[in-house]
Structure 1
Amino acid sequence: MTSGPVAVRPRVRSSRTRGSAAERDRLVGYAMVAPQVLGTIAFVVVPLVTVAWYSLHEWNVLAGTFTFSGTANYERMLADPGLRDALAASLWFSIGLVVLNVSLALLLAVLLDQRLPGTTTFRTFFFSPVVVSLVAWTIVWGFLLQDDGGINGFLAALGVDGPNWLRSGPTAMLAVIVVQVFKNVGLNMILFLAALQSVPEEVQEAARIDGAGAWRRFRSITLPLISPTVLLVSILTVVGSLEVFAQIDVLTGGGPGNSTTVLVYYLYQQAFRFNEFGYASAISVLLFVIVLALTLIQWRTRKRWVHDEV
Structure 2
Amino acid sequence: MAVVRSRSKRSILERREERLAWAMLTPVLLALLAMGVYPAVSTIWYSLQTGGSFGKGMSLAGFTGYVRLAHDPQFWSALRFSLLFSLITVAGQMIFGTALALFANLKFRGRWLIRTAILLPWAIPTATNSVIWAYIFNDQYGLINSLLLRLHIIDHAHLINWLGSAPLATTLIYVLAIWKANSLVALLVLAGLQAIPEEVVEASRVDGASAWQSIWRVTLPLVRPTLVVTLVLRTIESLQAFDLISAFTNGAPGNATQNLGLYINLQIQQYGDFAYGSNIAIVLMLITFAFIIIYLRTLYRPGVN
Matched, 1:299 2:296: yes
Q: Is the aligned partner of 1:212 residue 2:204?
A: no
- Say whether residues 1:286 and 2:260 are aligned partners: no
Question: In the aligned structure 2, how far is the partner of 1:153 from the partner of 1:286?
Answer: 43
Correspondent of 2:30 among 22, 31, 38: 38
1:4-29 Cα shifts (integer Å, max 9, x gaps):
xxxxx846417654543332222122
Q: For structure 2, which runs of at least 5 residues remain unmatched after alignment?
A: none
What is the SS of the residue equivalent to 2:255? coil
CA distance in 1, matches of 2:302, 2:197: 14
Does the Cα contact within 8 Å between 2:53 and 2:275 map onto a contact in 1?
no
2-side partners of 1:123 and 1:133: how far apart?
A: 19
CA distances 1:235-272 after superposition (whole Å, capped 9, x unpaired): 11100101111122121121112110001111111111
Contact 1:224 1:307 in 2 (8 A): no
Return the offset for 1:122: 2.1
1:246 matched residue in structure 2 = 243
One-letter identity of the residue aligned with 1:185: N
Q: Which moved more, 1:182-191 or 1:79-88?
A: 182-191
Question: Equivalents in 2 of 1:253, 1:87: separation in Å?
Answer: 16
2:189 corresponds in structure 1 to 192
1:6 is matched with none
Of 130, 152, 159, the residue aligned with 2:145 is 152
Deviation, 1:138, is 1.5
Please state how far the C-alpha of 1:276 moved relative to its aligned partner.
Answer: 1.1
Which letter does structure 2 place at the counterpart of 1:92?
A: L
2:178 aligned residue: 181
**What is the one-letter code of the residue matched to 2:39?**
P
- 2: CA distance, partners of 1:51 / 1:106: 36
Residue correspondence of structure 1 range 250-269 to structure 2 within 5 A:
250-269=247-266
Q: Which moved more, 1:29-38 or 1:102-111?
A: 29-38
Counterparts of 1:122 and 1:307, CA distance in 2: 33
Cross-structure match for 2:224: 227
Describe the superposition over 1:265-302 as per-residue Cα deviations: whole angstroms up to 9, x where unpaired.
Answer: 11111111111111001111111111111111111223
Q: State whether structure 2 residue 116 is matched by structure 1 residue 124.
A: yes
Please give the alpha-carbon distance, in whole angstroms, between the structure 1 residues aligned to 2:114 and 2:107. 11
- In structure 1, distance between residues paired with 2:102 and 2:204: 18
Shift of 1:223: 1.1
In 2 relative to 1, CA 223–14 (structure 1 residues): closer, same or farther, beyond 3 Å? Answer: closer
SS of residue in 2 equivalent to 1:25: helix
Corresponding residue number in structure 1 for 2:39: 47
State the 1:141 CA deviation. 1.1
User: Are 2:82 and 1:90 equivalent residues in the alignment?
Assistant: yes
User: Quick check: 1:127–1:185 contact (8 Å CA) kept in 2?
Assistant: no
Range 218-227 or range 145-154, more displaced: 145-154
CA 1:97–1:199 in structure 2 vs 1: closer, same or farther (change >3 Å)? Answer: same
Contact 2:52 2:273 in 1 (8 A): yes
Query: How many Å apart are 1:32 and its aligned residue?
Result: 2.4
Cα distance 1:181–1:60, how it changes in 2: closer, same or farther (>3 A)? same
**Cα shift at 1:168:** 0.9
CA RMSD of aligned residues (A): 2.2
* Aligned residue identity for 2:254: G
Q: Any conservation in 2 of the 1:112–1:123 contact (CA below 8 Å)?
A: yes
- The structure with the larger Rg is 1
User: Which moved further from structure 2: 15-24 or 95-104?
Assistant: 15-24
Determine which of 130, 134, 139 is the counterpart of 2:126.
134
What is the rounded CA distance, in whole Å, between the counterparts of 1:262 and 1:244 in structure 2? 8
2:93 aligned with 1:101, yes or no?
A: yes
Amino acid paired to 1:308: G
Q: CA distance change for structure 1 residues 227 and 307 in 2, over 3 Å: closer, same or farther?
A: farther
CA distance in 2, matches of 1:116, 1:18: 54
Distance 1:16 1:233 in 2: 46
CA offsets 1:2-60 (integer angstroms, 9 cap, x no match)? xxxxxxx8464176545433322221221122122111111111111111111111133
Give the match for residue 308 of structure 1: 303
Are 1:75 and 2:67 an aligned pair?
yes
Equivalent of 1:272, from 269, 274, 285? Answer: 269
Residue 61 of structure 1 and its aligned partner are, at CA, apart by 3.7
